[in-house]
Amino acid sequence: MKRILLTNDDGFFASGITALEKVLDTKYEVFIVAPDRERSAVSHSLTLHNPLRIRKISDKKYITDGTPTDCILLALHNIILNIPPDLIISGINNGANMGEDVLYSGTVAAAIEGMNSGIPSIAVSLTSREKGSFEQAAKIVDFLLQNDLKSIIFPDTILNINIPPLSIKEIKGVKLTSLGHRKYSDFILERKDPRGESYYFIGGDPPKWFGNDKSDYSAIKQGYVSITPLKVDMTYKEIYAKIQPWFDKLRINSNIMPELDMPMA
């Protein structure tokens, strides 16, 4: 592995991507294509109705005014044209991306877009915004890469990595995990402006986390690095057997409304 593309959703000047580039640039050819500002929680959004602009900082560093997903597309189809990257890393995100957060995360979405483009991709997050060290987290990413992390990134899959806010000596190890579950209280916060009109923030108190010992949250709580393989296909195939009787019944009763003329599979 020689060439790595970095992006994020915290912005080009964020501490996480800066620390990661500093560590990896000594071993790999590192490109950065990242948003010009924080684009957290934009998920997999694309900029379709406005022009996109790219600002070149150096031969291997670029800023765009698009989303993290835009950054991947611009990098692969406009900036890095001669030799595609061997790996895409999205992060290091400022805060956890566990459980349902992966549905909203621009960090995870950028990695998924890399996967969709046929490039092995990972998303990396430091789970505490206050206590963690991005420099320590970057060294952990480097350690995983040196131990052939790329060999466990399979087609149609990304690795979602969460790192606890601990020193390297305090981290107990690395765990293979599944997504946990989080629940917010007071999810919509209402405030009043000087004219007495209401305005709202989506957020609320810190979430309560749930999950068994194999969940990402449990691993982080216990002091482990969490690695969760994710895929885009969300089809719930295991429930087919429970749903099929409804389709069978509908097929039998289709003569009730013959005017619909619906063939039932």
Q: What is the mean pLDDT of residues 201-220?
A: 82
70-84, 114-128, 159-173, 174-188: least confident range: 174-188
Domains of the chain are: 3-182+209-236 (3.40.1210.10)
Where does residue 8 fall: left (phi above 0), alpha (psi -120 to 50 degrees), or beta otherwise? beta
Look over the chain and give the mean of its residue pLDDT values, rounded to a whole number: 91
pTM: 0.89
- List Cβ neighbours of 3 (8 Å cut-off, separation of 6 or more): 28, 29, 30, 31, 80, 83, 84, 85, 86, 87
> Higher confidence at residue 111 or residue 40?
111
Report whether pLDDT(203) > 80.
Answer: no
Closest CA to 84 of 33, 23, 47, 48: 33
Q: What is the mean pLDDT of residues 130-141?
A: 92
